[in-house]
């Protein structure tokens, strides 16, 4: 792998800012990425625009794909971030908005596929809305992954370069409470206090945690009421659920949907549900064993954050995540990539594709 060429491509991608919520910026980034891919792969990508969000796909061969190489080109960094967090290399560390999450991974993916003498059966899919939860690309990802022998996800590695063999599933909910307003000083007894009902529900929700199984059920943002002297008639709070297994995700979902009011006359509604299924260890172990046979120094990690690898595992496709950059600081000022690992990880991905396709 040519490190100098990879760094030139990475500079081009990082310096084209692509915040997820800016459709025009994501479209510009897609064109830059398409140019890099065109030069490396000798092929024009398919541009898939869904709700104004631009995704790119390269498919090689006439049959269905055998290996899906998956990534995203959107970031959490707003346009203008380069002014305070410029692209730079100091010693062995590369910095810049989105370098670790996950533009270095994209460069590694494209160079890995370009190094293959036979690309038949390989699909490269790069989406433009992952940081938003993949609202337009989920179906695209699931369809592309279905039937593949492997999905290789180029998200950044875990600490120390570990591959991600488990990711918790994510469920998101909103609990809304309806009570009855009344004057807080004159006749509070005529009201139904949504804040008190919310307190009961928050405690009930928190009790669904199971630390032994790694399940977290976290009440987050909460609002209620209108003025300080009015019994609040309405209120709501959000819930973030993370679970390592589908069974746990389903247990919590059933419990949340069964919540009932405590105060007489109060009403509650629950919206939401599972957003991403878990990437369970069973989905990764065969691929991790193959990676370990290629590089015996590799390690594995279970992480709480989700990625599009959750979707590929959810349709039954063997999935290995964290194959992208070695570094850290995703979404934060300290975001960085270890330069020397860039070509090594690309070589690992190329070797894995050859293993899976039997070439």
Residue by residue, DSSP assigns 316-334 as T--EEB--S-SEE-TTSTT
Cα gap 215→71, rounded to integer Å: 27
Alpha helices in the chain (DSSP H): 3-14, 23-41, 104-114, 138-145, 194-206, 246-257, 285-294, 309-314, 341-357
Q: Which of 276, 306, 335 is the last residue of a domain?
A: 276
Residues spanned by the domain of 238 = 169-276
Report pLDDT for 26: 98
Residue 272 sits in a domain of what CATH number? 3.30.70.360
Number of domains into which the chain is organized: 2
Whether residue 14 is found in the same domain as residue 67? yes
CA 213 to chain centre: 22
For residue range 3-20, what is the model confidence (pLDDT) as tens digits?
A: 999 999 999 999 999 999
Q: 23 is written with which tokens?
A: 């459709």
Q: Are residues 13 and 126 in the same domain?
A: yes
- Whether 346 has a pLDDT exceeding 90, the answer reads yes
For residue 12, the model assigns a pLDDT of: 98
Residues 249 and 144 grouped into a single domain: no
Closest CA to 234 of 207, 267, 260, 256: 267
Q: What's the CA dihedral at 235, 274, 216, 262 to 10 degrees?
A: 40
Q: Kindly tell me if the per-residue pLDDT of 305 is higher than 90.
A: no
Do residues 152 and 130 share a domain? yes
Phi, psi of 41 (to 5 degrees): -100, -10
What pLDDT digit, counting tens, does each position of 234-292 carry? 999 999 999 999 999 999 999 999 999 999 999 999 999 999 999 999 999 999 999 99
Express each pLDDT in 62-94 by its tens digit: 889 999 999 999 999 999 999 999 999 999 999
The burial class, CB within 10 Å (0-12 / 13-18 / 19+), for 112 is buried
68/12 same-domain check? yes
Is the domain of 268 the same as that of 337?
A: no
Vertex 327 angle, CA 296 and 354, to 5°? 45
Structural domain ending residue among the three candidates 276, 295, 327: 276
The two tokens of residue 263 are 């105060």
Q: Tell me the C-alpha distance between 332 and 167, whole Å.
A: 21
CA–CA gap between residue 279 and residue 333 (Å, rounded)? 28
pLDDT, mean over the chain: 96
Domain boundary pick from 276, 294, 326: 276
With a CB cutoff of 8 Å and minimum separation 6, the contacts of 19 are 25, 26, 74, 75, 76, 77, 78, 79
CA within 13 Å, CB half, 187: 5
Provide the CATH number for the domain around residue 129: 3.40.630.10
> Does residue 133 share a domain with residue 31?
yes
For residue 257, give every residue at least 6 positions away whose Cβ sits within 8 Å of its Cβ, in sequence order, or none: 270
> Which segments within 117-261 are labelled E, that is strand?
122-127, 150-153, 163-167, 169-178, 182-183, 216-224, 230-231, 234-243
- If asked whether residues 139 and 227 sit together in one domain, one would say no
| Cα 358 from chain centroid (whole Å) | 29
Q: What is the dihedral of CA 278, 280, 283, 287, to 10 degrees?
A: 110
Predicted local confidence at residue 333, as pLDDT: 93
| Residues 118 and 23 reside in one and the same domain | yes
Instruction: Provide CB contacts within 8 A for 57, sequence distance 6+.
Output: 45, 46, 48, 123, 124, 125, 126, 144
Asked if 270 and 196 sit in the same domain, the reply is yes
pLDDT band at residue 359, thresholds of 50, 70 and 90? confident
Whether residue 36 contacts residue 13, with contact meaning beta carbons closer than 8 Å, is answered with yes
pLDDT band at 358 (very low <50, low <70, confident <90, very high): confident
Tell me: do 259 and 288 sit in the same domain.
Answer: no
Nearest-angstrom CA–CA distance, 214 and 281: 14
Q: Are residues 178 and 295 in the same domain?
A: no
| CA distances for 182 relative to 179, 185, 261, angstroms | 10, 9, 19
Tell me how far apart the alpha carbons of residues 148 and 68 are, in angstroms, rounded to a whole number: 7
Residue 301 token pair: 């990690």
Contact 206, 217 (CB under 8 A): yes
Q: pLDDT at position 304, please?
A: 86
């Amino acid at each position: 792998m040519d490190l100098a060429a990879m760094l030139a491509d990475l500079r081009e991608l990082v310096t084209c800012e692509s915040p997820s919520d800016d459709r025009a910026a994501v479209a510009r980034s897609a064109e830059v990425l398409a140019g890099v891919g065109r030069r490396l792969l000798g092929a024009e990508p398919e541009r898939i625009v869904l709700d104004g969000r631009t995704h790119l796909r390269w498919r090689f061969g006439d049959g269905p794909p055998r290996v899906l190489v998956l990534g995203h080109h959107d970031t959490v960094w707003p346009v203008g971030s380069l002014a305070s967090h410029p692209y730079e290399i100091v010693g062995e560390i590369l910095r810049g908005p989105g370098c670790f999450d996950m533009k270095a991974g994209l460069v590694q993916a494209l160079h890995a596929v370009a190094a293959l003498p036979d690309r038949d059966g390989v699909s490269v899919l790069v989406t433009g809305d992952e940081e938003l939860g993949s609202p337009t690309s989920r179906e695209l990802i699931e369809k592309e992954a279905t039937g593949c022998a492997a999905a290789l996800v180029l998200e950044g590695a875990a600490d120390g370069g570990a591959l991600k063999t488990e990711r918790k599933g994510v469920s998101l909910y909103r609990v809304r409470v309806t009570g009855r307003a009344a004057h807080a000083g004159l006749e509070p007894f005529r009201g139904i206090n949504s804040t008190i009902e919310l307190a009961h529900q928050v405690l009930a929700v928190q009790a669904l945690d199971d630390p032994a199984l790694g399940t977290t059920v976290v009440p987050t943002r909460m609002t209620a009421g209108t003025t300080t002297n009015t019994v609040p008639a309405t209120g709501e709070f959000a819930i973030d659920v993370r679970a390592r297994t589908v069974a746990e995700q389903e247990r919590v979902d059933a419990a949340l949907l069964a919540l009932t009011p405590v105060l007489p006359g109060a009403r509650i509604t629950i919206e939401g549900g599972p957003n991403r299924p878990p990437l369970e260890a069973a989905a990764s172990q065969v691929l991790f064993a193959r990676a370990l046979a290629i590089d015996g120094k590799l390690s594995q990690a279970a992480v709480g954050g989700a990625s599009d690898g959750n979707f590929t595992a959810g349709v039954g496709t063997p999935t290995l995540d964290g194959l992208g950059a070695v570094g850290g600081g995703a979404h934060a000022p300290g975001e960085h990539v270890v330069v020397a690992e860039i070509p090594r990880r690309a070589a690992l991905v190329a070797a894995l594709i050859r293993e899976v396709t039997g070439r």
